[in-house]
Amino acid sequence: MKFLKSLAAATLVLASTPAFAQEQLSIATGGTGGVYYPMGGGLAEIINNHIDGYAATAEVTGASVENMGLIATGDADVALALADTVQQAYTGTGKFEGQQLPMVRSIGIAYANMVQIVALEGSGITSLQDMIGKRISIGAPGSGTEVNAEQILSANGISYDDIDEQRLNFNETADALANGDIDAGFWSVGAPTSSILNLATTNNIVIIALSDEELAAADAANPVFATTTLAGGTYVGVDDDVKVIGVPNVLVVSSDMSDDLAYAITSAMFENIAELQAVHPAANETTVELALTASPIPLHPGAIRYFEETGATIPDALRP
């Protein structure tokens, strides 16, 4: 009996003692109604499953602008952020005027956002100009959506003085549209995204198409903008292709991250990309080629090591 008690006690001690200490990593994402959160969760699982000694968690945040601050302060280890926001942070311009963050580095491009402008059928809004005097959600405070919405509107002669702007996250924007509390909303997010998918199942939605002139004006205002196509059938009731603004999403770390850890994260992600693609189809765009053609800031040396191992040529502009 004493032996059994001793064995039970020893088993309890072993069960309560971790096999080894794991370093915790935080991945800054966005709201739960967008693509950042599931993508960040997928990356966390890859780290947990393929990098010994580390445990990663995806954190809900206000998205791009906030995420740059979290990287700068060390409160996040990896972050997702829109390329134009990342560029502003690195150069100390735009939202980051007077607070340059020269330490931010890229380990890849996750996918390209599409700026999707959504209204309900019968709203009377079929163009940007129809938004004047209307209630418009421009995205959550501190989000890349807010940055993109302001750039697209202002490039086409519309200021916040011309609209009743509402700063709502993706889920809040969808709910407000469904309830009639706003007239249209901006999403800068990968497609499809859950909040629009859910809205389209219970409401007849329209995606506001930009004219060629409006697309050209937006492209001229922001060098990372590119015209792309939201395929018809992406959402219920939206059967035709729609031309939209595309914006790459950057995977950001700090220059303070060790080369070995940055290499391990980059390598694990690209070598197990099928696991990320299983989480969200946006990860079909997560390629080495995109990382080397669309990054607005220098790569981390650890990421460069991995890319060179694949045989890729690193552009001089992406070397820190």
| Cα Rg of the chain (Å, integer) | 22
Task: Determine what percent of the chain falls in helix, strand and coil, rounding each to the nearest 5.
Answer: 45, 20, 35
210: helix, coil or strand?
coil
Give me the amino acid identity at 154: S
Domain 19-110+250-318 is found in CATH 3.30.70.1170: no
pLDDT in tens, 54-88: 999 999 999 999 999 999 999 999 999 999 999 99
Residues of each domain in the chain carrying CATH 3.40.190.10: 19-110+250-318, 114-247
The predicted structure's pLDDT at residue 226: 83
Positive or negative torsion for Cα 126, 142, 294, 310: negative
Comparing C-alpha atoms, which of 183, 169, 176 is closest to residue 131? 183
- Do 145 and 188 meet the contact criterion of CB atoms below 8 Å apart? yes
Query: What is the structure's pLDDT at 1?
Result: 45
- Whole-number pLDDT of residue 20: 58
What's the Cα-to-Cα distance from 180 to each of 8, 119, 188, 195, 232, rounded to whole Å?
62, 10, 21, 16, 25
Distance (Å, whole) CA 320 – CA 317: 8
Give the C-alpha separation, 280 to 306, whole Å.
24
Rounded (10°) CA dihedral 178, 129, 247, 244: 80
β-bridge partners, 83 = none
DSSP 138: -
| Residue 2: per-residue pLDDT | 40
For residue 287, give both structure tokens.
């390629």
- Given the candidates 3.40.50.1480, 3.40.50.2300, 3.40.950.10, 3.40.190.10, the CATH classification of the domain at 114-247 is 3.40.190.10
Q: Yes or no: say if 128 and 215 are a contact pair by the CB < 8 Å rule.
A: no
* Cβ contact 189:35 at 8 Å: yes
Report the C-alpha gap between 46 and 71 in whole angstroms. 20
Per-residue pLDDT of the chain (320 residues; tens, 9 = 90+): 443 344 344 333 333 334 457 899 999 999 998 899 999 999 999 999 999 999 999 999 999 999 999 999 999 999 999 999 999 999 999 889 999 999 999 999 999 889 999 999 999 999 999 999 999 999 999 888 998 999 999 999 999 999 999 999 999 999 999 999 999 999 998 888 999 999 999 999 999 999 999 999 998 988 889 888 898 999 999 999 999 999 999 999 999 999 999 999 999 999 999 999 999 989 999 999 999 999 999 999 999 999 999 999 999 999 99
